[in-house]
Amino acid sequence: MFTRRLFLASSALGLAACTAASAKDLSKNTETAGYAGDEWRQLSEADWKARLSPAAYEVLREHGTERPFSSPLDKETRAGMYHCAGCDLALFSSEAKFDSGTGWPSFWEALPGAMGMSVDRRLFYPRDEYHCARCLGHQGHVFDDGPAPTGKRWCNNGVALTFKPA
């Protein structure tokens, strides 16, 4: 007999399987292949926990999302570069930053070779998720509602970034 409990359990297992299947092995991704032997790829989860704040660990290593409007980097307007909080790779220039009104730091383009892409299906619909090309730390999602010239909005978790003024 197909009960409600059985239906819910099978749905949850199916969703988990879809999510796991869609999360590409980023270490084999062509965008991240240049860093395959990098020391950052050798760190254990215990190493990451020791290096990162709990909030940064949740976002970078467990694909979490910080609360909107919680990062001071959302309102940062100085010239400079935004780096991965995990490994310090430069990811964005302040020249590509804009105020999207979403509560997260947003950019219309990433630096060349800085990101690896995957598909995130955790919200029942696919989203383009991006990661630091060097340490594979989760940064955020890309949407097609950004300004010219790319029309893209790279929506980043502020806790996954550090800012270095020019």
More confident residue, 103 or 27: 103
Nearest C-alpha neighbor of 106 from the set 136, 56, 133, 143: 143
What would the pLDDT profile of 61-94 be if each residue is shown by its tens digit? 999 999 999 999 999 999 999 999 999 999 999 9
Q: How confident is the model at residue 37 (pLDDT cuts 50, 70, 90)?
A: confident
In a domain, 19, yes or no: no
In a domain, 67, yes or no: yes
Residue 151 reports pLDDT greater than 90: yes
In a domain, 16, yes or no: no
CB 120 within 8 A of CB 142: no
Query: Which one of the listed residues 87, 132, 135, 155 is annotated catalytic?
Result: 155
- The amino acid occupying position 93 is S
Average pLDDT, the chain: 84
Element (H, E) at 165: strand 161-165
CB 65 within 8 A of CB 59: yes
Q: In the chain, what's the furthest Cα-to-Cα distance?
A: 66
CB 131 within 8 A of CB 47: no
SS3 at position 135: coil
Give the mean pLDDT of 26-45.
76
How many domains does one find in the chain?
1
Q: Which residues pair with 154 in a beta bridge?
A: 107, 142
In a domain, 31, yes or no: yes
In a domain, 150, yes or no: yes
Range of the domain at 102: 24-165
In a domain, 158, yes or no: yes
Residue 121 reports pLDDT greater than 90: no
Query: pTM value?
Result: 0.81
155 belongs to the catalytic site? yes
Q: How confident is the model at residue 126 (pLDDT cuts 50, 70, 90)?
A: confident
Q: How confident is the model at residue 133 (pLDDT cuts 50, 70, 90)?
A: very high
| Confidence at residue 25, expressed as pLDDT on a 0 to 100 scale | 57
The answer for residues whose C-beta is within 8 angstroms of residue 42's C-beta and 6 or more apart is none
CB 104 within 8 A of CB 157: yes
In a domain, 98, yes or no: yes
Residue 26 reports pLDDT greater than 90: no
In a domain, 70, yes or no: yes
More confident residue, 7 or 78: 78
Q: Which residues pair with 153 in a beta bridge?
A: 143
Nearest C-alpha neighbor of 62 from the set 161, 162, 160, 163: 160
CATH code assigned at 80: 2.170.150.20
